[in-house]
Structure 1
Amino acid sequence: MTLNMKRRPVSLVLWGCVVLSLIAVGLLVMFKPVKEPESVETVVNRILVRVLPIAAQTVPDVVTLPGRVLANVSATLAVEKAGRIEEVAVDQGDSVTKGQLLLRIDNRLWVHQQRQAMLALEEADRDFSRWQPMHTNGAVSSSEFDAIRHRRDQAAVAADQAAVHVQQCLLFSPFDGVVDRRAVEQGEYVTEGQAVFDVLQLQPLKVQVFISERDVASLQPGMALGGVAPSLGGAVFEGRLTFLAQEAQPDRYTYAMELTLDSPPAGLRPGMIVDVQIGRGQRSGVIAIPLAAVIPRRGEHVVYVVRDGVAVRRVVVLDAIIGQNALIRDGLQEGDLLVIEGHRGLQDGVRVGIEANTGSNRVDSPDKE
């Protein structure tokens, strides 16, 4: 009897533990989170992007340099005589021809001196004509006749000088061109050597470019080079290399060169900045990507690639920019899926969906622009 009483509490404890375990298992089963399949809404909320599979390519090695458009001739015209301006014959913006009158200065003083010189020359000619027969007959000495002849020669020189002074009161255009600036008005007093007009010869135009010593050896006068004018919507032009400096600029360590544009695009004007393209041959085994795929950010160049449906941020090192393409030195490798559209709003780790491409993703060569 006593033995049965001792065993009963132990049995009760064991049965209690079993019941508690069963209750705990049931609670776990009831409240265990169930992993649901990815909903349609989640898929739709992914950012759609277009990608470019990265592959090594052979691309033209073209360097693009800024150039400044110049007039073929740019002349600042100054007056040769001081005086009051009697006539300004042209205005700025006017087209002029070689030899056309631009300005006339009051010449009355110089005309008076010219008349005096002509009278002195006429008198000297009469004296010479009267003394010459006498010298031939021996009536006068050679020294006396030489003095008469010398006076006549001096009078002729003075008359020529007086005519030059009168002519210098007139200012003519030295070439066909356009008056780009007029700095004086009729009635003003000008001093000798004062600038009054800027005249430009616009046919042909020139483009001045400064190049590094790396590119000098590949250039020869007469070769054709092309470029684009961004200010004219990317208008294309072609020119001839007509000047290549022999010595580098001491302050830039670059060489000046000039292109002559015989047929410049409409609207191209002196002072505009253009892009001149100089070919260096071909570059093989390089990774070239669209420049638009590169995001400048805090001094770095950032791109995004897709890996396992997730956008991955990459910092790349640019080797060169050729046209609309960027050559990558480091940060990308063959096989990467580069995001080329939709990358502006991406962040690292964002889930993305790849949109089907409708055309070729191959990077265009700069010469196709």
Structure 2
Amino acid sequence: MRVKVVQLGADGHVHGLYYSGVVDAEKNISLSFLTPGTVSEVPVREGDRVRKGQLLAKLDCESNKNSFRIAQEKARQAEDAFNRFEPMYKNGNLPEIKMVEIRTGKVQAELAEKLARKNMEDCSLTAPDDGLISARSIEPGDNAAPGMPALKLVSVDKVYAVISVPESEISGIKKGVPVSVELSGQGNRRVEGKVADAGVSADPLSRTYTVRVLLKNPDSKILPGMLCNVYISRREGPAGVAVPASAIKMDGDNRHFVFVFDGPSRRVRKTEIVLGGFREGGVLVVSGLQGNESVVREGVQKLDDGMLVEAAL
């Protein structure tokens, strides 16, 4: 019987916590128009980097422009009337009630102009912050409505590695704790970060807490949605040896075990173990192994205790 084994070695002992997670943007901003209209221009696409104040989309709002011109002209007329009649009022040649009407008309015209200006400006959608366009939901010719998603902007100068931590381990994770993050989509490149915040309310189904790790991302190469592995070093907590998940099996009594290969006799020994959760390099075994054994990692399904095998690394 041929099997493959892994030599655990003395350096297989680990102290720490290991989790799988996903990258999330520091800011996720959904953008929509504040006024209805027909989309006339969308000069950006997914992946474009934009600056604060940059035009992202525009509506065909000729009627809004005309309304602004009308309001602007009425405001000028009201201003002119006020300037002409005010000296007369001061000289006592104009009743106070008439002057009140003129002043009120001037204020109303100015407010109407401001409202018309805002309606015209609302035809343009601009970036509220620097970032990347992550989604585009509109095209020229579409009918836009207030609140209807048009674009999504994400800020990625800083990103978060988001993980779920079991309730039995959350007490050991504090804000500011240094963390090492391995990015699966970038050749397992490692970056260093710190715990930004740890959840205080557990998910009712999984009984896990959400923890976010802040990562600096000056070159914007770490993108939202990337998978990552997060390793948090700890001095306290269970220590043990990391064993590949493929080497661990469970019997009918829900007890976990591995097959340890004995070189001189070329036989395997079924060894019961106690698990301590996922860790860097596999699953943490906190009891049952010394840490220097050779453990079968492939071909486990066909093995029995004491079986003679031909082992290879």
TM-score (norm. length: structure 1): 0.70
Mean alpha-carbon deviation: is it higher for 107-116 or for 182-191? 182-191
Q: Find 1:192's aligned residue among 127, 133, 146.
A: 146
Is 1:324 matched with 2:281?
yes
Partner of 2:294: 339
Unaligned runs of 5+ in 1: 1-45, 358-369
Does structure 1 retain, via aligned residues, the 8 Å contact 2:259–2:296? no
Asked if the contact 1:49/1:339 (under 8 Å) is kept, the reply is: no
Matches within 5 A, 1:95-110: 95-110=49-64
Contact kept? 2:156, 2:217, Cα under 8 Å? no
182-191 or 293-302, larger mean C-alpha shift: 293-302
Cα deviation for residue 245 of structure 1 reads 3.4
**Structure 1 residue 48, shift from structure 2 partner:** 10
**Larger deviation: 122-131 or 232-241?**
232-241
76 and 137 in structure 1: CA distance in 2 versus 1, 3 angstrom threshold: same
Equivalent in the alignment of 1:181 = 135
Q: Deviations over 1:265-323 (max 9, x none)?
A: 98532112212122331568x66364378243677533134397251431423322432
Q: Which has the higher helix share?
A: 1
Cα distance in 2, alignment partners of residues 290 and 193 from structure 1: 51
Which residue number corresponds to residue 267 of structure 2?
Answer: 311
Per the alignment, residue 262 of structure 1 pairs with 216
In 2, Cα distance between equivalents of 1:194 and 1:292? 46
Q: Distance in 1 between matches of 2:54 and 2:247?
A: 56
Q: CA separation in 2, counterparts of 1:223 and 1:232?
A: 24
RMSD: 3.6
Aligned equivalents of 1:172, 1:266: Cα separation in 2: 21
Give aligned-pair identity as a percent.
Answer: 23
Q: Indicate how the Cα distance of structure 1 residues 237 and 170 shifts in structure 2: closer, same or farther if over 3 A, else same.
A: same
1:126 to 76, 80, 83: 80
Count of residue pairs brought into register by the alignment: 307
Q: Distance in 2 between matches of 1:51 and 1:78?
A: 55
**Conserved 8 A contact 2:18-2:230:** yes
Question: Relative to 1, partners in 2 of residues 1:124 and 1:195: Cα closer, same or farther, differing over 3 Å?
Answer: same
In the other structure, the counterpart of 1:115 is 69
CA contact (8 A) 1:68 1:274 kept: yes
Q: Structure 2 regions of 5+ residues with no counterpart?
A: none
Q: CA distance change for structure 1 residues 146 and 319 in 2, over 3 Å: closer, same or farther?
A: same
Q: Tell whether the 8 Å contact from 2:157 to 2:220 is kept in structure 1 after alignment.
A: no
The CA deviation string for residues 213-240 of structure 1, in whole angstroms up to 9 with x for no partner, is: 4444444433321121233332212112
Residue 160 of structure 1: how far off its partner (Å): 0.5
1:42 aligns with: none
The aligned residue for residue 67 of structure 1 is 21
Query: Per-residue CA shift, 1:318-359, capped at 9, x if unaligned?
Result: 322432265445555x6x98434697476544446899x9xx
Residue type at the aligned position of 1:98 = K
Equivalent of residue 34 in structure 2, options 80, 88, 104? 80
Deviation at 1:165, TM superposition (A): 0.6
Match of 1:230 in 2: 184
1:132, 1:256 → 2: CA distance?
Answer: 66
**Structure 1 residues 236 and 264, CA gap change in structure 2 (3 angstroms):** farther
Measured at CA, do residues 337 and 352 of structure 1 come closer, stay the same or move farther in structure 2, by a change above 3 Å? farther
Q: Deviations over 1:64-121 (max 9, x none)?
A: 1222201122222112222222222122222221111111111111111111111211
